[in-house]
Chain A
């Protein structure tokens, strides 16, 4: 794989900024979107394999966004990061196609581990 690109979707600017810094400092190329609609526009022009999605987004929520992404690009690995955790949502996340689920405040090392794990998996799929 040429570049390790990550798409982050969160409606809060500070959090997008924080994600950008942490993933960039670990060598990833990060793009951020503030809504599901923006994310969909970005995906129309560019392919991303790994994404971190907030669940509580202004218009379309993260669950529906994940469902749509997995329908259009089935190989994508999506992670949910949410401030509104309940057992019910975990079940929903798995059903929508999320790889894993992190509750805010999520530890950055957990998120970095998740990203590394996702890219290892994708590399393996590509070599198949």
Chain B
């Protein structure tokens, strides 16, 4: 998982980066609030961050407040690093939008535990978001397929009926056969769409994404 650190002090930043990398995080290190803000605007930005309170320019609480004001689609878990540990300051930090704070000098065990809480929270939120998306996809897919299958049934039925009463091998018979084959393909597609069981997308034009019907509809046996 990616983690952003915003810390102006080179020594502290280097130590923090080393520790977090050792724990398996992909660290994006920034030296001040502006740089951190810019990193959060990238696509696929980190969702977890350790932010120093005191930084030149944009400080930690301001960064937190600005990020919260963005009404972002992704969940952020922001940990403020503070040498101030007076109660009001902690309240100010949390009210600015931080989820958690760690007082300097911090103990590695405490840092690890708090970062892990953040990671767990983000994973849960991401899973929840995926489930909500899936729910929307399923409802939409179900509604469209149902509406589509009704006219499809009459087109398919009537063409089959025509085929039954037609002499095989005639040019019209062949044409109708082609029509029928096309309808069957659409029918297979609507059946597949209705079997969508998970949110699985694939890249489409202009960086947009579309549902991968083939993969998302594959039924995974759960045991009767």
Contacts and interface: CB of A to CB of B under 8 A. Distances in A.
Contact of B153 (A25, A56, A105, A109): A105
B189 to A, nearest CB: 11
Interface in B132-175: 142, 145-158, 160-161, 164-165
A39 B128 CA distance: 44
B157 A84 contact: no
Given A15-B154, A83-B145, A105-B183, A22 B161 contact: yes
A108 interface: yes
A14 interface: yes
A86 B149 CA distance: 14
A103 B191 contact: yes
Interface in A70-86: 81, 83-86
Contacts of B39: none
Given A15-B150, A25-B164, A105 B194 contact: no
Contacts of B153: 15, 18, 81, 83, 104-106
A99 interface: no
A108 B155 CA distance: 11
A120 interface: no
A105 B149 CA distance: 6
Nearest to B157: A18
B220 to A, nearest CB: 11
Interface in A41-83: 56, 81, 83
A1 interface: no
A14 B184 CA distance: 19
Contact of B152 (A25, A84, A105): A105
A12 interface: yes
Interface of B: 142, 145-158, 160-161, 164-165, 183-184, 186-187, 191, 194-195, 219
23 contacts: A12-B154, A17-B154, A18-B153, A18-B161, A21-B161, A22-B157, A22-B164, A25-B164, A83-B146, A83-B147, A84-B142, A84-B146, A84-B149, A85-B195, A86-B194, A104-B149, A105-B152, A105-B155, A105-B156, A105-B184, A105-B186, A108-B160, A108-B164
